[in-house]
Amino acid sequence: MSSTENPGDGSQQVPPPETAGPDVTTPDAATPDAASDVVAPGAVAADAVTPDAATPGAETPAAPTPGAETPAAGTPDAVTAAAGTPAAPTPEAAALPDPTGDGAARTVPEAATPAAVPTAPAVHVVSDPAQWGRVDEDGTVYVRTADGEREVGSWQAGDPAAGLAHFARRYDDLATEVSLLEARLKAHTGNPSELKAKAQALAETIPTATAVGDLDGLAARAQAMVGTADSAAAESRAEKAAARAAQVARKEALAVEAEQIAAESTSWKAAGDRLKAIVEEWKTIRGIDRKTDEALWTRFAAARDAFGRRRGAHFAALDAQRGEARAAKQELIAEAQRLSTSTDWGATSAAMRSLMDRWKAVPRTSRDGDDDLWKQFRAAQDVFFTARSESDKARNSEQLANQQAKEEILAEAEKLDPSGDLRQAQNALRKLQERYDAIGHVPRGAMRQLEDRMQAVEQRIRGASDAGRARTAPENPMVTSMRAAVTKAEEQLAKAEAAGNARRVEEARANLATRREWLAEAEKTASRR
């Protein structure tokens, strides 16, 4: 290119000409018909014909096509602009690669580049210049419009087709800009008001642009965007409102869930974890105005605080309940420890069973604390029941010894012979009975057998005594047996009263009463026969 671009404002920096004046373009020596390259006085040479300064999206001059003449070093290019002055590119213009391959720089508005509009890819428009314009013999370039042909510039650098292509590229740049604006409006990206203003500027400048193409159709497209910009803006606002409403609905749902948890949930661990997860999800929801967001957060925070208070009250009550349970169990432990040294086995055993029932009715404390309390309580009971077990063992041992002693006395009594000296046998039996009765308890299972053996000896001695008397009518054996049992029960009661053993006295009285009832029934039965 014969000119350089200023990245700051897009204006051209033209080196000083080496010729006699700025109006003349000097072609190379090999260029035929050099006289045709003379530019009319007053025209300013440029790299390509530029549009008016008011045209938005104007581009930097392009280098000549390969078929065009190359200007001499230090001189302006050979193509003049019909407007007479070069147009400075707009501040938002940015260079794009040239799809035609002729080396000319392409420009589109910076706001319409792919980086600014990710949803609208760059559109490269290539038109057919021969359909919309021509270059006459003098190099004047015309464009066809609905109002007729209009001069747009002059091409003196070579092949007329290259000149048409040059001006067609200007049209293509305008068409690209229009297409990108359309894409941005459709995608609802960017500020709709700004897009509308750009479309209005294009609609006003395209009809007079120094370009070759369907300027009328392109201007109509730009004008159509002006009409649709408001509806696009409304759609954009509706989409943003819908997106905002969706985000508000999400946070409202989370707030409602938190309020429900605060009011109903008793799954304290799971509910607390869910509230933490809601906070993390809440952070990801954006796009809500500050007032609405703060109101929703206030609801959520209030629900979370209410849940925290309810959970705190629950655990405080639980701690109080556990404290009461601990105190109650400690009282039971103290009572069990007091009873643990008792030797009143029957009454204390019943009391210990009652303590166990009361223990089961008391709620649990903490797991470790409850286990410790149970060990103390059980240890106190074990002291008592171990002592009772040892007492039972000693008693059983004593009863076995008593059984053995009674069996020895019975064996001695069973050897008595009343047929020799009856009175001596009776006296010996009486003394054996006294020794027999003086011996304490025997095992319950052996008691009946021992009593039956002693009764059999008594009946044998008594039978021998009755045989020596005058024979009378025989007494009913049942009555005799019952009378003997009553006599023996009376003797046992007397011995118990003499010993001062209240328990044995009570047992002897109950036994005597039973025996007397049986004797009375037996006598009634015998009298009826």
pLDDT in tens, 468-482: 554 555 667 777 888
Closest CA to 116 of 184, 174, 57, 185: 184
pLDDT level of residue 11 (50, 70, 90 thresholds): very low
Percent of the chain with pLDDT over 90: 16
Q: What is the pLDDT of residue 362?
A: 86
Q: What are 239-296's pLDDT values in tens digits?
A: 788 888 999 999 999 999 999 999 989 999 999 999 999 999 999 998 889 999 999 9
Do the Cβ atoms of 62 and 74 come closer than 8 Å? no
- What is the rounded average pLDDT of the residues 7-33? 33
* pLDDT range class, residue 458, cuts 50, 70, 90: confident
DSSP string, 24-36: B----TT-SSGGG
Domain boundaries, the chain: 4-235, 240-313, 475-529
pLDDT at 474: 60
Helix (H) or strand (E) holding 136: none
For every residue of 239-291, which 3-state class applies, written as one string? HHHHHHHHHHHHHHHHHHHHHHHHHHCCCHHHHHHHHHHHHHHHHHCCCCCHH
Percent of the chain exceeding pLDDT 70 equals: 73
Instruction: Work out the mean pLDDT of the chain and round it to a whole number.
Output: 73
| Residue 57 or 342, more confident | 342
Angle formed by the axes of helices 160-187 and 215-264, to 10°?
Answer: 20
pLDDT for residue 466: 61
Structure tokens at 263: 């009011």
Residue with tokens 């047992």: 507
Please tell me the predicted confidence (pLDDT) of residue 19: 32
pLDDT value of residue 126 = 60
d(C-alpha 513, C-alpha 64), whole Å: 148
**What is the predicted pLDDT for the residue at 59?**
36
Helices then strands, each counted (H, E), the chain: 12, 9
Tell me what pLDDT residue 527 has.
64
For residue 135, the surrounding DSSP H or E stretch is strand 133-135
Looking at per-residue pLDDT, the higher value among 468 and 152 belongs to 152
8 A C-beta contact, residue 176 and residue 199: no
Give the span between the Cα atoms of 45 and 39, in whole angstroms.
8
Residue 227 has pLDDT above 50, yes or no: yes
Assess contact for 450 and 442: CB atoms under 8 A.
yes
* Token output for 20: 């006699």
Q: Per-residue confidence at 44, pLDDT binned at 50, 70, 90? A: very low
Count other Cβ atoms within 10 Å, centred on residue 119. Answer: 11
Task: Kindly state the average pLDDT of the residues 100-126.
Answer: 40
Q: What is the pLDDT of residue 162?
A: 86
What the block records as the tokens of 282 is 């809440």
Give the pLDDT confidence score for residue 81 in this predicted structure: 33
Q: With 90 as the cut, is the pLDDT of residue 232 above it?
A: no
What would the mean pLDDT of 495-500 be, rounded to a whole number?
A: 81
Q: Collapsing DSSP states into helix, strand and coil, what is residue 119?
A: coil
| Range 363-382 average pLDDT | 85
CA 218 to each of CA 173, 210, 211, 288: distance values in angstroms, whole numbers, following the listed order:
11, 13, 11, 40
The answer for 158, left when phi > 0, alpha when psi is -120 to 50, beta otherwise, is: left
Q: Which amino acid is at 51?
A: P
Confidence class for position 109, pLDDT limits 50, 70, 90: very low
The helix (H) or strand (E) run that includes residue 115 is: none
Q: Which of 448, 410, 446 is nearest to 429 (CA)?
A: 410
Report pLDDT for 475: 64
Dihedrals φ, ψ of 135, to 5°?
-120, 120
Q: Indicate whether 378 pLDDT > 50.
A: yes
The 10s digit of each residue's pLDDT in 197-225 is 888 898 888 898 999 999 889 989 988 88
Give the distance from CA 444 to its chain's centroid: 70
- In this predicted structure, the answer to whether residue 98 has a pLDDT above a threshold of 70 is no
Closest alpha carbon to 104 in 23, 2, 210, 208: 2
Please state, in angstroms and rounded to a whole number, the distance separating the CA atoms of residues 99 and 513: 134
For the cut 60, the answer to whether the pLDDT of residue 89 exceeds it is: no
Q: What is the pLDDT of residue 3?
A: 34
pLDDT, residue 421, reads 76
Q: Which of 53-67, 92-106, 247-261 has the highest mean pLDDT?
A: 247-261
Q: How many CB atoms lie within 10 A of CB 490?
A: 15
